[in-house]
Chains A and B, each alone.
Chain A
Amino acid sequence: MLFNPERYHVDPHEVEGIELQVHKSKASLILHRMHPSEIKPGKGRENWDVGGIVAYSKICTHVGCPISLNERTTHHLLCPCHQSTFDLTDSGRVVFGPAGRPLPQLPLEVDEQGYLVAQSDFTEPVGPSYWERDYDEPW
């Protein structure tokens, strides 16, 4: 989206300078490919991958570092700041470290032109926790 503004009708000033930084700190993505049989899809997430390609928010749910250390064989993602480890085969579940919530997953599909696109926005807020995070959740 960010680097192809015309296609998505994004205002060009949105993709430079501070606006770009603000977007990057929320919209950064990890695209990860594994064998489709390795994915343990969560409830309602059965069709969120495309042939083993999954997309997760890159922003850690602990304090917001971009997670970037990929353990290739286990498909675990480790945050270099405080070592929270997320399992990308299992809905971004936290398998180790201080992060309290799984990584938000972006549902993927292929559009009619063959591009990999998102089915929708993230279904939950990305990044670190905050007080009002669950305001919209029924409780």
Chain B
Amino acid sequence: MSLGDRPDMSKVAKSNAGEPAVPPSRGSQRAGAVANWADERLGLGTMLKKNLRKVFPDHWSFMLGEIALWSFVVLLLTGVFLTLWYDPSMTEVQYAGSYDPLRGVHMSSAFASTLDISFDVRGGLLLRQMHHWAAHIFIAAMMIHLLRVYFTGAFRKPRELNWVIGCLLLLLGTIEGFTGYSLPDDLLSGTGVRAADGFVKATPVVGTYMSFFMFGGEFPGDAIIPRLYIAHVLLLPGLLLALIAAHMLLLVYHKHTQWPGPGRTEQNVVGYPLLPVYAAKAGGFFFIVFGACALLGGLFSINNVWKLGPYDPSKVTAGSQPDWYMGWPDGLLRIIPPWETHIWGVTLSWNIMLPILVMPPLMITILALLPFIEQWVTGDKREHHLLQRPRNAPTRTAIMVALMTFYGLSWAAGGNDIIAIKMDLSINQITYFMRAAIFVGPVIAFMITKRWCISLQRQDKEKLLHGYETGVLVRSPAGGYAEKHLPIDEHQAYALTARDRDEVYVPEEDDLDGVSPRGRRLARLRAKLSAMFFADNVQKPTAAEVEESRAHAEHELHELEHQIATGPNKHGPSSDH
């Protein structure tokens, strides 16, 4: 149908007044009555009308946060089941369950009930393992979701506070994980709590008081498991739920970000409505996540607490490792030199304070501040709902890759004993290497990533100005070879050019005249950072450049075609034979 044609409207009803063709069925009448009853009391109609058609843009990377959300739901469901059987008590009992090797062994009631869940409660081991796997997935998904949000610039105004909430969720989720894996009171988790006692005691001035308060006396006491339990099943999940609710409400309020493309602007959201499409997709995704957790819990054993037995402060096993998300501070704790200061009658344990009391809070703070730092450097106070490709913010991308490298190396250091055994290396050399690598590695990663991004930007520009490589080689009459380039299609060109030009902030000397020395220093720092952020970036070509290149390409194409037509190497069967 051409644009001039008018659609045939003769079969469309002029009005929907009058009797419906079919009288409503009894069922739908009843449903209508119930809906009306509820609407008159709860005002559901207006709310649903507005929200059921809410549009969500679609991209595979938007489901990473959903994995975190759904694995949290799995945690709640399986966790409720575990509370029915778990006994958070350090009362000493003699195990009399069905796991023979431990029968008769003295242990805490907490450990005995964990064994009961694993061996004597129907489906208990499956649910326990699903709970543990879901916890791993929860934290991993939060981290990957965080990376997605960061790399695509989705944290920019107006979403900075939601970013901060996300960082808090990651922190609380990690603590929730630690309290959870401490509950079985087995040898490994007890060793973890013992280390935590060491961390608390290393706190200046109040350390021993805090430790005695936490354990209700001397370590291990009989209070820590009930306290960890209340934190794990009430306090932390409550906070997590509240923050998740705030996170989701802000998501709805801000609307979801979208990738730039034809028809997508900073003012609209292009995607599927909540009902029926998005609700079905997201709801279905819950079952996929649940199923994945069930498969993992059913097929892959995790945290076999019965192998090591109950906690005994005089015992430990080789290869002791915390859950993976605790690995990076543990790695720093392993590679830190033995720094301890004894001065004026007090002890300062830098070998514990730096890796445990300083670094994790510092990392979370850096993470939470990233949006605000970037905003200050760029001076960009506009709202952003269109995402950016990581390559188009090379310094931002490089900062996160540097942080990831630091994290990864620290994490690997947390497995230095495993690496030493599996790869037959010297643990001392691994440790010395890591001491240097956590400083050098991030710097190298930063430089490589930044240049890599800029190269990709250059390639994008190349594609815009010279088209894509067709793979068709043409020989000229002179004997030279050239590859035929064709312009990329308009959608692709739109997506490649849908970004702002970066501007380096240069403070005008006149403007700084009336500014305080401190303000002047800040402005200069901002200018330096701005240059670091943007000076090397490749900007998108101007419209004139694109036009010119198009004309040039057309000319080149004609020339090539002419050469093909007249040249000695005509394709196809020759007619001379």
Q: Is A65 in contact with chain B by the CB < 8 A criterion?
A: yes
- CB atoms of A16 and B319 under 8 A apart: no
Report B501-530 residues with CB < 8 Å from chain A CB: none
CA distance A130 to B92 in the complex (A): 29
CA distance A98 to B427 in the complex (A): 13
CB neighbours (8 Å) of B204 from chain A are 131
Q: Is A114 in contact with chain B by the CB < 8 A criterion?
A: no
Give 1 or 0 for each of A114-139: 1 = CB within 8 Å of chain B CB: 00000000000001111111110101
Q: Is B376 in contact with chain A by the CB < 8 A criterion?
A: no
Whether A128 contacts B352 in the complex (CB less than 8 A), given A18-B221, A65-B191, A100-B338, comes out as yes
**A131 shortest CB reach to chain B, Å:** 5
Which residue of A has the minimal Cβ distance to B337? A98
Give chain B's interface residue range (CB within 8 Å of chain A): 35 or more
CB neighbours (8 Å) of A51 from chain B are none
- CB atoms of A131 and B316 under 8 A apart: no
- CB atoms of A139 and B344 under 8 A apart: yes
- CB atoms of B344 and A98 under 8 A apart: no
- CB atoms of A83 and B427 under 8 A apart: yes
CA distance A128 to B351 in the complex (A): 11
CA distance A37 to B347 in the complex (A): 35
Report B54-104 residues with CB < 8 Å from chain A CB: 90-92
Which of the candidate stretches B26-34, B194-202, B255-263, B268-276 sits at the interface with the other chain? B194-202
Report A54-68 residues with CB < 8 Å from chain B CB: 58-59, 62-68
CA distance A80 to B319 in the complex (A): 6
CA distance A135 to B90 in the complex (A): 33
- CB atoms of B336 and A98 under 8 A apart: yes
CA distance A98 to B434 in the complex (A): 13
**A49 shortest CB reach to chain B, Å:** 22
CA distance A96 to B334 in the complex (A): 10
CB neighbours (8 Å) of B194 from chain A are 25, 63-65
CA distance A63 to B221 in the complex (A): 17
Q: Is A40 in contact with chain B by the CB < 8 A criterion?
A: no
- CB atoms of B313 and A21 under 8 A apart: yes
CA distance A80 to B416 in the complex (A): 11
CB neighbours (8 Å) of A66 from chain B are 313-316
Q: Is B452 in contact with chain A by the CB < 8 A criterion?
A: no
CB neighbours (8 Å) of A22 from chain B are 217-221
**B205 shortest CB reach to chain A, Å:** 6
- CB atoms of A64 and B198 under 8 A apart: yes
Q: Is B573 in contact with chain A by the CB < 8 A criterion?
A: no
Q: Is A32 in contact with chain B by the CB < 8 A criterion?
A: no
CA distance A65 to B318 in the complex (A): 11
Give 1 or 0 for each of B190-216: 1 = CB within 8 Å of chain A CB: 010011011101111111100100000
Chain B, interface SS category: loop
Chain A, interface SS category: loop
CA distance A17 to B330 in the complex (A): 30
Q: Is B428 in contact with chain A by the CB < 8 A criterion?
A: yes
Q: Is A103 in contact with chain B by the CB < 8 A criterion?
A: no
CB neighbours (8 Å) of B427 from chain A are 83
- CB atoms of A131 and B346 under 8 A apart: yes
CB neighbours (8 Å) of B201 from chain A are 128-131
CB neighbours (8 Å) of A28 from chain B are 313-314
- CB atoms of B312 and A24 under 8 A apart: yes
Q: Is B574 in contact with chain A by the CB < 8 A criterion?
A: no
CA distance A67 to B211 in the complex (A): 21
- CB atoms of B221 and A98 under 8 A apart: no
CB neighbours (8 Å) of B571 from chain A are none
Q: Is B417 in contact with chain A by the CB < 8 A criterion?
A: yes
Q: Is B549 in contact with chain A by the CB < 8 A criterion?
A: no
CB neighbours (8 Å) of B559 from chain A are none
**How many residues of chain A get a CB closer than 8 Å to chain B's CBs?**
42
Q: Is B395 in contact with chain A by the CB < 8 A criterion?
A: no
Give 1 or 0 for each of A54-96: 1 = CB within 8 Å of chain B CB: 0000110011111111000000000011111000000000101
CB neighbours (8 Å) of B349 from chain A are 100, 128-130
Whether A80 contacts B317 in the complex (CB less than 8 A), given A25-B219, A101-B340, comes out as yes
CA distance A108 to B131 in the complex (A): 49
- CB atoms of A62 and B198 under 8 A apart: yes
Q: Is A106 in contact with chain B by the CB < 8 A criterion?
A: no
**A117 shortest CB reach to chain B, Å:** 20
CA distance A18 to B221 in the complex (A): 6
Report B290-343 residues with CB < 8 Å from chain A CB: 311-320, 330, 333-340, 342
Which residue of A has the minimal Cβ distance to B190? A21
Q: Is A97 in contact with chain B by the CB < 8 A criterion?
A: yes
CB neighbours (8 Å) of B320 from chain A are 65, 80-81
**B513 shortest CB reach to chain A, Å:** 51
- CB atoms of A82 and B333 under 8 A apart: yes
- CB atoms of A81 and B316 under 8 A apart: yes
- CB atoms of B351 and A99 under 8 A apart: yes
Report B204-257 residues with CB < 8 Å from chain A CB: 204-208, 211, 217-222
Q: Is B480 in contact with chain A by the CB < 8 A criterion?
A: no
- CB atoms of B195 and A135 under 8 A apart: no
Which residue of A has the minimal Cβ distance to B338? A100
Contact of A83 among B344, B345, B346, B416 (CB under 8 A): B416
Q: Which A residues are within 8 Å of any B CB, using their own CB?
A: 16-18, 21-22, 24-26, 28, 58-59, 62-69, 80-84, 94, 96-101, 127-135, 137, 139
A-B complex: 7 closest residue pairs judged by Cβ atoms: A63-B198, A100-B340, A25-B313, A28-B314, A128-B198, A130-B201, A133-B347
Known: A63-B199, A100-B338. 16 other contacts (CB 8 A): A17-B92, A18-B90, A21-B220, A21-B312, A25-B194, A25-B218, A58-B314, A63-B352, A65-B191, A66-B316, A82-B334, A83-B431, A97-B431, A131-B206, A131-B207, A134-B342
